Amino acid sequence: MPSINKSKVKTPMPAQDPKVRSRNFNEVALGYTEEDAVNEAARCLNCKNPTCMQGCPVQVQIPRFIKCIKEKDFESAISIIKETNSLPAICGRVCPQEDQCEQKCILTKKGDPVGIGRLERFAADWEREKGVKIPEKPNPIGKKVAIIGSGPAGLTCAGDLAKLGYDVTVFEAFHEAGGVLIYGIPEFRLPKEIVKQEVNFLKELGVKVETDMVMGKVLTVDDLFEKGYEAVFIGTGAGLPKFMGIPGENYLGVYSANEFLTRINLMKAYKFPETDTPVKVGKKVAVIGGGNVAMDSARSALRMGADEVYIIYRRSEAEMPARKEEFEHAKEEGIIFKFLTNPIRIIGDEKGWVKGVECIQMELGEPDASGRRRPVPIKGSEFMLDMDTVVIAIGTGPNPLLIQATQGLDLNKYGYIATDEDGRTSKEGVWAGGDIVTGSATVILAMGAGKKAAQSIDNYLKNK
Amino acid sequence: MFKILSREDLAPSIKQFIVDAPLIAQKAKPGQFVILRIKEGGERIPLTIADYDAKAGTVRVVFQEVGKTTKELGTLKEGDFLADFVGPLGKAVEFPNHKRVLGIGGGLGVAPLYPKLKMLHEQGVEVISIIGAKTADMLIMEDEIKAVSDETYICTDDGSKGRHGFVTVVLKELLEKGEKFDEIIIIGPAILMKIGTEIIKPYNIPVMVSLNPIMVDGTGMCGCCRVTVGGETKFVCVDGPAFDGTQVDFDELMKRLQTYATEEKIALEKYEKERGGCRCHQ
Residue of B nearest to A220 (CA): B27
Is B282 labelled as part of a ligand binding site?
no
Cβ of A349 under 8 Å from any chain B Cβ? no
CA-based nearest distance A217→chain B, Å: 6
pLDDT in tens, B58-84: 999 999 999 999 999 999 999 999 999
Cβ of A263 under 8 Å from any chain B Cβ? yes
Using an 8 Å CB-CB cutoff, list chain B residues near A271: 41
Asked whether the beta carbons of B215 and B259 are under 8 A apart, the reply is no
CA-based nearest distance A386→chain B, Å: 19
Using CB atoms, pick whichever of B43, B228, B252 lies closest to residue A267: B43
Query: Do the Cβ atoms of A262 and B217 come within 8 Å?
Result: yes
Using an 8 Å CB-CB cutoff, list chain B residues near A239: 219-221
CA-based nearest distance B76→chain A, Å: 17
Using CB atoms, pick whichever of B233, B263, B264 lies closest to residue A243: B233
Using an 8 Å CB-CB cutoff, list chain B residues near A352: 252, 255-256, 258
Instruction: For residue A411, name the pLDDT band (cuts at 50, 70, 90).
Output: very high
Give the span between the Cα atoms of B78 and B81, in whole angstroms: 9
More confident residue, A96 or B200: B200
Using an 8 Å CB-CB cutoff, list chain B residues near A259: 216, 222-224
The pLDDT score that the predictor gives to residue B213 is: 95
Using CB atoms, pick whichever of A175, A258, A399 lies closest to residue B37: A175
- The least confident of A89-98, A177-186, B11-20 is A89-98
Is the pLDDT reported for residue A25 higher than 70?
yes
Give the span between the Cα atoms of A61 and A312, in whole angstroms: 40
Cβ of A268 under 8 Å from any chain B Cβ? yes
Is B278 labelled as part of a ligand binding site?
no
Angstrom distances, CA of residue A238 to CA of A199, A206, A325, A398: 21, 27, 24, 4
Helices B190-200 + B167-176 axis angle, to 10: 10
Residue of B nearest to A246 (CA): B233
Query: Do the Cβ atoms of B256 and A252 come within 8 Å?
Result: yes
Average pLDDT rounded to a whole number, residues A398-406: 90
Is B62 labelled as part of a ligand binding site?
yes
Give the span between the Cα atoms of B266 and A178, in whole angstroms: 31
Is B155 labelled as part of a ligand binding site?
no
Give the span between the Cα atoms of A99 and A254, in whole angstroms: 33
Using CB atoms, pick whichever of B27, B233, B267 lies closest to residue A218: B27
Instruction: For residue A357, name the pLDDT band (cuts at 50, 70, 90).
Output: very high
User: Which residues of chain B carry a pLDDT beneath 70?
Assistant: 277-282
Strand partners, B130: B104, B153
Using CB atoms, pick whichever of B23, B217, B263 lies closest to residue A174: B217
Inter-chain CB pairs, A–B, below 8 Å: 115
Using an 8 Å CB-CB cutoff, list chain B residues near A219: 23, 27
Average pLDDT rounded to a whole number, residues A416-421: 95
Using an 8 Å CB-CB cutoff, list chain B residues near A273: 263, 266-267, 270
Average pLDDT rounded to a whole number, residues A24-28: 94
Residue of B nearest to A272 (CA): B267
- Report all structural domains of chain B as residue ranges with CATH numbers, in order of start: 2-89 (2.40.30.10), 100-210 (3.40.50.80)
Using CB atoms, pick whichever of A214, A263, A352 lies closest to residue B89: A214
Cβ of A210 under 8 Å from any chain B Cβ? no
- The least confident of A13-22, A31-40, B267-276 is B267-276
Cβ of A365 under 8 Å from any chain B Cβ? no
Is B63 labelled as part of a ligand binding site?
yes
The pLDDT score that the predictor gives to residue A13 is: 92
CA-based nearest distance B150→chain A, Å: 33
The pLDDT score that the predictor gives to residue A287 is: 98
The pLDDT score that the predictor gives to residue A1 is: 47
In 3D space, the residue among B102, B99, B237 whose CA is nearest the CA of residue A217 turns out to be: B237
Give the span between the Cα atoms of A429 and B232, in whole angstroms: 38
Give the span between the Cα atoms of B5 and B128, in whole angstroms: 32
CA-based nearest distance A366→chain B, Å: 32
Asked whether the beta carbons of B69 and B43 are under 8 A apart, the reply is yes
Query: Do the Cβ atoms of B222 and A212 come within 8 Å?
Result: no
Residue of A nearest to B33 (CA): A217
Angstrom distances, CA of residue A421 to CA of A416, A425, A431, B94: 15, 10, 11, 41
Is B101 labelled as part of a ligand binding site?
no
Q: What is the pTM of this model?
A: 0.94
Residue of A nearest to B256 (CA): A252
Give the span between the Cα atoms of A294 and A440, in whole angstroms: 13
Asked whether the beta carbons of A368 and A374 are under 8 A apart, the reply is yes
Provide the 3-class DSSP secondary structure of residue B25. Answer: helix
pLDDT in tens, A102-160: 999 999 999 999 999 999 999 999 999 988 777 788 889 999 999 999 999 999 999 99
Burial of A422 (0-12, 13-18, 19+ CB in 10 A): middle
Is the pLDDT reported for residue A6 higher than 90?
no
Using an 8 Å CB-CB cutoff, list chain A residues near B19: none
